[in-house]
Amino acid sequence: MNRSDLKLIQKLFRPRKAASHKGDHGHALLVAGSKGKTGAAVIAAKACLRAGCGLLTVNIPQEERMILQVAIPEAMLSMREEERGHKLYSAAGAGPAMGTGKEAAAFLKTIITGYHIPLVLDADALTILSTHTKLFEQVPAGTILTPHPKEFDRLFGDHEDDKARRKKSTEVAEEANIIIVLKGHRTFITNGRHSYLNTTGNSGLAKGGSGDALTGIITSFLAQGYAPLNAAVLAVYIHGLAADIALKDQSQESMLITDIIACIGKAFKRIGIKD
């Protein structure tokens, strides 16, 4: 198992070129939010843009559009009820509070079987997969799944501890040709052949919204053209490092995910400084 440390991250990270424009940094799609849970979409969107993608579209229910337009005017919107397409997008992240009903499941099936772009699946998307086993079998190669332990067990059966989950993650990732990000105190990332244990983060991340932000960051790196495994490793490290930096002004008890998102820029500066 490899350690995801600063030395590794500096090798993976690609600094922005001075002469680049927004079209050089990808167009991300986030499918997130539902009535009463639009905050998940706001959190994922802010984290996605802070992580550097050139353009972002957030797919939300039409009745929730004003929340997004006010909270994050930098993002474009598409309505959940409208006809969907994928040709504009470089990568997509789906799941944070998108719902688990029939319409959400049908949309997820469309994304998985028809979008043909790099994908991140989290939260409600994982819940849908846990009850639609045939759909799980259609998840494209290279897709990133980001379960916490309970979501992992819903997908793959009960496990005694994280050691057992890591072993199962490695087996499933290799068999299905996907990447699994098993979230926890030391998040574990694997594609079945190469595995990494993250070294950043603290218990301030143990709050609602943390996973939504991580989904946004991973989606952003995928949209920018990072290979899926590298995107996952880099995103998890940045996510945790931003939380560590946030401790300068907050405690682990008081920290909010918005505090962490505000520190993503400082995290980029930290990894950009080489010894």
Rg (CA), the chain: 17
pTM of the model: 0.97
| Separation in Å, CA 209 to CA 10, 32, 118, 191, 272 | 27, 12, 23, 25, 26
As a whole number of angstroms, the distance between CA 260 and CA 55 comes to 21
pLDDT greater than 70 at residue 274: no
Q: Are 198 and 4 in contact (CB under 8 A)?
A: yes
Name every residue whose Cβ is closer than 8 Å to that of residue 199 and which is 6 or more positions away in sequence.
Answer: 3, 4, 5, 186, 237, 240
Q: Are 70 and 88 in contact (CB under 8 A)?
A: no
As a whole number of angstroms, the distance between CA 135 and CA 271 comes to 38
- Average pLDDT estimate for 49-53: 98
| CA proximity to 212, closest of 258, 266, 263 | 258
223's tokens? 């949209």
As a whole number of angstroms, the distance between CA 49 and CA 191 comes to 26
Q: Are 240 and 210 in contact (CB under 8 A)?
A: no
pLDDT value of position 24: 86
Of 19-23, 80-84, 86-90, 219-223, highest mean pLDDT: 219-223
The overall average pLDDT reported for the chain is 96
pLDDT greater than 80 at residue 84: no
Q: Are 111 and 31 in contact (CB under 8 A)?
A: yes
Name every residue whose Cβ is closer than 8 Å to that of residue 47 and which is 6 or more positions away in sequence.
Answer: 212, 213, 214, 215, 216, 217, 220, 239, 261, 264
- Average pLDDT estimate for 205-228: 98
Fold (topology level) of 2-11+25-268: UDP-N-acetylmuramoyl-L-alanine:D-glutamate ligase (3.40.1190)
pLDDT greater than 90 at residue 25: yes
Q: How many C-beta atoms lie closer than 10 Å to residue 40's C-beta?
A: 27
pLDDT bucket at 191, cuts 50 / 70 / 90:
very high
Strand partners, 121: 94, 145
Domain ranges of the chain: 2-11+25-268
Q: Are 65 and 37 in contact (CB under 8 A)?
A: no
92-140 pLDDT, tens per residue? Answer: 999 999 999 999 999 999 999 999 999 999 999 999 999 999 999 999 9
End-to-end CA, the chain = 25
The percent of residues in the chain predicted with pLDDT above 70, rounded, is 99
| CA proximity to 74, closest of 39, 50, 91, 94 | 50
| CA proximity to 48, closest of 67, 65, 24, 72 | 72
Instruction: Say if strands 144-145 and 119-121 run parallel, antiparallel, or are unpaired.
Output: parallel
pLDDT value of position 251: 98
pLDDT bucket at 57, cuts 50 / 70 / 90:
very high
pLDDT greater than 80 at residue 83: no
